[in-house]
Amino acid sequence: IKPTLFLTNEFTSVFQAIVDTYGTPTYKEVNPAVFTCISFPFFFGVMFGDLMHGSILAAFGIYLCFSKREPGTIGAIFGEVRYLFLLMGLFAFYCGAIYNDYTSLPAQLFGESCYTTDSSKTDKNVQQVLG
């Protein structure tokens, strides 16, 4: 068996660690960490989509990207996952804008929300669907 070596940098190292958690590809296989760099944060955003929480996570990721990585600081503790947090926050913010969701409340930033609190509207919608 030939060994597998994937060279990583600051950005790809955390994604390679996620892939290695599930298994290491064999010799001459495509490295799935390349696809994980975008798909993992995107699927997190789809699952977590919220404007406020996504913006907090993105702001924390931006702070980590610009903070110093001296021992004992928060930049040193979370230094390896800074790009992961940044991308997850940006995608969560993006999906929260699409969902029109702000802390699980109808944001109504872009027109009418998909959530309703009026039961009479809900009953009329159900009657229209059922015919």
Q: Which of 60, 53, 96 is nearest to 79 (CA)?
A: 60
Task: Pick the most confident of 24-28, 60-64, 78-82, 112-116.
Answer: 60-64
Tell me the whole-structure pTM to 2 decimals.
0.77
In terms of phi and psi (left: phi > 0; alpha: psi -120 to 50; beta: otherwise), the region of 37 is: alpha
Range 47-72 average pLDDT: 91
Q: Which of 37-41, 62-66, 73-77 has the lowest mean pLDDT?
A: 73-77
Cβ neighbors of 99 (< 8 A, separation 6 or more) are 49, 50, 114
**Average confidence score pLDDT of the chain:** 83
Rounded to 10 degrees, the C-alpha dihedral 70/74/75/77 comes to 90
Residues 43-58: pLDDT tens digits? 999 999 889 999 999 9
